[in-house]
Amino acid sequence: MIEAVAFDLDGVIVDSERVWDEVRESYTRESGGTYTDSAARDMMGMSSLEWSRYMADALAVPGTPDDINAAVVERMLVRYGQAPPLIPGSVEAVRRCAARWPLAVASSSNPELIEVVLEAAGLHDAIPVVVSSQEVPRGKPAPDVYLEAAVRLGVEARNCAAVEDSQNGIRSAKAAGMRVVAIPNAHFPPEEEALALADVVLRSIDELTLDAVNPEMRA
């Protein structure tokens, strides 16, 4: 029986995967690094420490990982401004779930970016638990961020559902033992092997009903 729900942020609540890609690519090229064809997919789900180190090591971006992280996050905050690109229907879907279960965000985004999105969406009251992969040892596809979300929600991970869009996110939630509701990212769709791990696949956030989260409610 599902007792809580953990939402990914990027690609589920806010349409930011392309923004992340554009910001990282422009910063890489402007600083003299080499942005590869696989870079965007490689970095999806990584914690800030992991993707900034990846940019330094694999993309040859000069500076320390801390320097790279700070510069990219600053650009992301500028791009977000006061109006992050919320996915249509995401706020309503979150509130549908919040009326039934306690919620968490389990995100690879930096805490300050999560805060901007939740503030703009008016969802602080609906999502009392927020975990950034910056706060755990490993980013997605490792299960750490989802396991920590379950701890803070006070429930067993196996009694949680996770709402995800990316292949690393799906793998992370599945490794944590959660029921995985996948809403494939249209711009960076998960590979079939990862998508097959999901318990249910939806076409859009509008299809995120209580029954989709917990089919036992139909009984």
Cα-to-chain-centroid distance, residue 123: 16
Please, which pLDDT band fits residue 41 given cuts at 50, 70 and 90? confident
94 pLDDT exceeds 90?
yes
pLDDT of residue 218: 60
Q: How far apart are CA 76 and CA 85, in angstroms?
A: 12
Tell me where in the chain the CATH 3.40.50.1000 domain(s) lie.
4-15+84-218
- Rounded to a whole number of angstroms, the distance between the first and last alpha carbons of the chain is 12
Q: Are 175 and 164 in contact (CB under 8 A)?
A: no
Tell me where in the chain the CATH 1.10.150 domain(s) lie.
17-80
Of the chain, the percentage scoring pLDDT greater than 90 comes to: 88
The CATH architecture of the domain made up of 17-80 is Orthogonal Bundle (1.10)
Whole-structure pTM value: 0.90
Scanning the structure block, which residue is given the tokens 């956030």?
A: 205
121-147 tens-digit pLDDT: 999 999 999 999 999 999 999 999 999
Q: How many residues does the chain have?
A: 219
Helix H or strand E segment including 32: none
82 pLDDT exceeds 90?
no
174-184 tens-digit pLDDT: 999 999 999 99
- List Cα–Cα distances, 215 to 99, 101, 161, in angstroms: 17, 14, 11
217 pLDDT exceeds 80?
no
Q: Are 126 and 92 in contact (CB under 8 A)?
A: no
**Structural class in CATH, domain 4-15+84-218:** alpha beta
